[in-house]
Amino acid sequence: MTSNLEKIKKHVSPEPSGWHEDAQKRADNEAWLTHSFQIAVKVLGTIRSKSITKQELADKIGVTSEHINRILKGQENLQPETIARLESTLGLSLTTKSPL
């Protein structure tokens, strides 16, 4: 009869998952991640309210749809030029709390 420990060991990966390093990166970059999330929420809310697709937004600001996806996931370190193009295209402010 197989013990519970042996059953568990069958499902454990032989390679480390890296969760600790990922958690440390998130902790080290908490301020940026919070800001990035706020930008993503503003952009997503605006494109939904204006019925703009991700592809249309990408075309308007001159980036790929994959770039837009990373922005909307809060995973993109935005350059000032990209922020300015997003603000101009969408008619909003991403760097301050109040709209333009």
pLDDT digits (tens, 9 = 90+) for 1-50: 678 988 888 888 888 888 889 889 888 888 888 888 899 999 999 999 99
Residue of 32, 15, 34, 11 whose CA lies nearest to 77:
32
What band does 100 get if pLDDT is binned at 50, 70 and 90?
very low
What single-letter DSSP state applies at residue 86? H
What ranges do the domains of the chain cover? 52-100
Say what the pLDDT of residue 64 is: 96
What band does 98 get if pLDDT is binned at 50, 70 and 90?
very low
Q: How far apart are the first and last CA of the chain?
A: 69
Q: Which CATH class is domain 52-100?
A: mainly alpha
* 80-86 CB contacts, 8 Å cutoff, 24+ apart: 83/39, 85/60, 85/61, 86/43, 86/57, 86/61
- Give this prediction's pTM: 0.69
